[in-house]
Amino acid sequence: MLRVLLVDDEPNVRNGIRIMIPWDELGLAVIAEAGDGDEGLSKILSLKPDIVIADVKMPGMTGIQMIEAACKNGFKGKCLILSGYSDFTYAKEAMQLGVKQFILKPLDEDELIKALKDVHYQILNERQSSYYADKGNEYINEKLVKALLLGDRQAFGSMDISSYSYRNYDVALISAAAECSEEEQSALLESVYNEIQGNNDVDVITTDLSGMLAVLFKGWKRSRIIDFLMKLNKIHMRKVFITLGLTATGIYMIKQSYYSADSLYKNRFLYLHYGVVTSENASKSSTGDLNELDEAARQIYAYIEINDIPKLEASLEQLQDTLCKNGLTPERIKVICITLVMDFKSRLIKNFGDKKSETAFEEDTARIISSMNSLFEIIEMLKETLSGISNTYFGKTTKSTMERVVQYIKANYTRELKLEMLAGIFGYNSAYLGKVFHQYTGDNFNNYLDGIRITEAKRLLSMEEHKVYEVAEMVGYSNINYFHNKFKKLVGISPLSYKKKYAGYQGDNG
């Protein structure tokens, strides 16, 4: 429906026009009326009608003056002028303003209907031409931008690149953060597209880029781009994943910015939780120390066993950073996380030995981890699962800190333990922890740990199936001579003599 404004100082003329014209059949609707030129100008500028039907002679501002003032203020609609024979001197002036339709008074119904049909056709034809022109320009621009992104010099060499004279360019890729239907993805990216395209010096294309938007920032400062993308991500409630490539210093380097953004996108499994990942905040190391993974796992186990949930969650986040830094494949990362879960499940069963321990983890935990689309999802699942287990098995909050330290030592004496390590786990200065530990147990840390280990060694040596060197390793001593000396000092005889005496020894080369 095209919108029509009637402007005439005679109410009867306005009423007659309303009655005689079959507006609906013509695809038109009268939206308002005005009784003089001043009122007409005000309504033209506020209502922005498609067609204005106006009398030439009116009190104050004439119809021609009204149209002239409206055009100067940006009015783009069409005008029909109502005039008498004596008013035809205004025709030349009106022609200069683009008015091509003059209707003589008294009004003839058929003539006015024909004039309205002609104007209606003209407006629709112009809009269609403008639409296809815009689409054509949009297609040409998308083709050019795509050629720039891919570095296709042959393609953009034949196009007009005179407007690309900026000193720097940055390419960002935007996609849906989570799996969703094609309709949901299209709606999300259309919303993002509309949010971006109104900005100056930005090209946005949507074609042939695997369901992503490619955004080319031209001449923007890097800090401004990052700030813009962060706000965009926040507006869309972190439903989008954005990668920003390296800055290109010339038109022929744009492809490098695109390919670096695409490289980050291909690692979305690692970086999805960033929301906006750039070459600055992405982990750059691809050969990190895998020993860090063992240390991260040790800390996770420790915080589960002492029921320190905040530190447990922090350790899992540290594990996430370590996995990112090592540049591992998603498949390898999933194996590491599954192994972590299975190892702890084995420890739980060993310590508690009941059926409840076996069901502490879901049977299909491995399948669940394998099906996840990002490391962030896996870490969040581990936080929830391991915190729940820690609360269930180790959540006796009535225990003092020293009771928890002793409990931890008894559960982990087979591993390498140092006072400094325990101080870090429990959040103490090592000297202070040593002093408080001595007050609580009546012994220093090393003697207390040796006492637990040697007591267990005596039990194991009394079994015929264990050799001396095996027992040493089982209770946490990697050096057999050190074990021998400690055992003899605390028990009074050597490990081998103890075994001969209490295990029915018949021969032992260990």
Q: Quickly state the pLDDT bin for 353 (edges 50, 70, 90).
A: low
Question: Residue 247 in contact with residue 221, Cβ under 8 Å?
Answer: no
**So what's the pLDDT on residue 361?**
65
Neighbours of 249 (CB within 10 A): 14
Is 169-278 assigned to CATH 3.30.1360.170?
no
The confidence band for 32, taking pLDDT boundaries of 50, 70 and 90, is very high
Give domain 405-502's CATH number out of 3.40.50.300, 1.10.10.60, 3.30.420.40, 3.90.550.10: 1.10.10.60
* pLDDT on residue 254: 93
| Cβ–Cβ under 8 Å, residues 235 and 249 | no
- Count of Cβ atoms closer than 10 Å to residue 361 Cβ: 18
**Residues 6 or more apart in contact with residue 12 via CB below 8 angstroms:** none
> In the prediction, which pLDDT does 131 show?
52
Are the C-beta atoms of residues 297 and 268 closer than 8 Å to each other?
Answer: no
Q: What pLDDT, on the 0 to 100 scale, is given for residue 360?
A: 61
pLDDT, position 356: 58
Element holding 81 (H helix, E strand)? strand 78-83
pLDDT in tens, 91-121: 555 555 566 677 777 888 898 999 899 889 8
Q: Indicate whether 14 pLDDT > 70.
A: yes
Mean pLDDT of 480-500: 92
pLDDT range class, residue 506, cuts 50, 70, 90? very low
% of the chain surpassing 90 pLDDT: 38
pLDDT at 56: 85
- Residue 198 burial (10 A CB sphere; 0-12, 13-18, 19+): exposed
Query: What gap in Å lies between CA 236 and CA 225, rounded to an integer?
Result: 17
Residue 363 is predicted with a pLDDT of 67
Core vs surface per residue 275-305: b (16+ CB within 10 A) or e: bbbbbeebbeeeebeeebbeebbbbbbbbbb
Sign of the C-alpha dihedral computed for residues 171, 176, 177 and 182 taken in this order: negative
- Is the pLDDT assigned to residue 342 strictly greater than 90? no
The pLDDT tens digits for 112-152 are 999 899 889 888 877 765 655 444 445 557 788 888 888 88
Report the pLDDT averaged over residues 53-79. 89
Q: What is the CA angle 33-35-37, rounded to 5?
A: 100
- Which pLDDT score is estimated for 86? 57
For all residues of the chain together, what is the average pLDDT?
84
More confident residue, 272 or 161: 272
Interhelix angle 445-461/495-502, nearest 10 degrees:
40
Would you say the C-alpha torsion 260, 266, 267, 272 has a positive or negative sign?
Answer: positive
Tell me: pLDDT of 184 over 90.
Answer: no
Strand 240-244 versus strand 276-278 pairing type:
parallel
| Identical fold between 169-278 and 405-502 | no
Read off φ and ψ for residue 171, nearest 5 degrees: -110, 130
Domain ranges of the chain: 2-125, 169-278, 291-397, 405-502
Q: What confidence category does residue 89 fall into, taking pLDDT thresholds of 50, 70 and 90?
A: low
Question: Is 464's pLDDT higher than 90?
Answer: no
What pLDDT is stored for residue 307 in this prediction? 81
Q: Is the pLDDT of residue 226 over 90?
A: yes
Topology (CATH) of 2-125: Rossmann fold (3.40.50)
Beta-strand pair 101-104/213-218: unpaired
* Amino acid code (one letter) for 252: Y
Enclosing H/E stretch for 497: helix 495-502
Q: What is the value of pTM for the model shown?
A: 0.54
pLDDT value at position 493?
A: 94
Q: How many CB atoms lie within 10 A of CB 17?
A: 21
Residue 400's pLDDT is 75
Residue found by looking up tokens 């609906």 in the block: 24
CA distance linking residue 502 with residue 461, whole number of Å: 8
In the block, which residue shows the tokens 């094609």? 182
Is residue 54 within 8 Å of 69, Cβ to Cβ? Answer: no
Tens-place pLDDT, residues 273-307? 888 999 888 755 444 556 778 778 888 888 888 88
- CA proximity to 319, closest of 272, 382, 364, 369: 382
